[in-house]
Structure 1
Amino acid sequence: MDTAVDGAMQIFWRLGYTATNLPELLHAMGVSRGSFYKAFGDKHSAYLAALDHYDRTCIGSAVALLSDRSIGDGTSRILRLFEQTGCGEGVAPRGCFVCNAMVELGPHDSAVAEKTAAMSNRLQSAIYNALGDVPGINPFDTESRDRKAAIITRLYLGAQAMSKTGDQNADWKNLLGELLNRRIL
Structure 2
Amino acid sequence: MARPRAFDEATALQKALETFWYRGYSATSVEDLVAGTGLSRASLYATFGDKHALFLRALGQYQQQAFHTLTALAADPAVPAAEHVRQVLELTAGLCQADAGQRGCFMVNTITELVPHDPEVQALAAEYQHFLETLLATVLRRGQQRGEVRRTAAPQAQARLLVSVLNGMRVMAKADADPQLLRDVVDTALLALA
> How far has the Cα of 1:91 moved from its partner?
2.4
- Which structure has the bigger radius of gyration? 2
Match of 1:28 in 2: 36
Match of 1:73 in 2: 80
More helix by share: 2
- SS for the counterpart of 1:67 is coil
Q: Of 132, 135, 153, which residue of structure 1 is paired with 2:163?
A: 153
Gaps of 5+ in 2: 1-8
Overall identity of the aligned pairs, in %: 28
Match of 1:136 in 2: 149
What letter is aligned with 2:107? V
- SS for the counterpart of 1:133 is helix
> How far has the Cα of 1:166 moved from its partner?
3.0
Contact 1:12 1:20 in 2 (8 A): yes
Pair 163,88 (structure 1): closer, same or farther in 2 beyond 3 Å: closer
Q: Of 11, 15, 19, which residue of structure 1 is paired with 2:23?
A: 15
CA distance in 2, matches of 1:165, 1:60: 27
What letter is aligned with 1:67? A
> How far has the Cα of 1:90 moved from its partner?
3.9
TM-align CA RMSD: 2.1
CA distance in 1, matches of 2:129, 2:97: 19
CA distance in 2, matches of 1:178, 1:92: 25
Pair 92,55 (structure 1): closer, same or farther in 2 beyond 3 Å: closer
Contact 2:96 2:173 in 1 (8 A): no
Segments of 4+ in structure 1 off by > 2 A? 66-70, 85-92, 166-171
Match of 1:105 in 2: 114
Stretch deviating more after TM superposition (158-167 or 1-10): 158-167
CA distance in 2, matches of 1:65, 1:121: 17
Pair 164,59 (structure 1): closer, same or farther in 2 beyond 3 Å: farther
Normalising to structure 1: TM-score of the pair? 0.86
Normalising to structure 2: TM-score of the pair? 0.83
CA distance in 2, matches of 1:124, 1:92: 23
Pair 62,88 (structure 1): closer, same or farther in 2 beyond 3 Å: farther
Larger relative contact order, structure 1 or 2 (CA cutoff 8 Å, min sep 6): 2
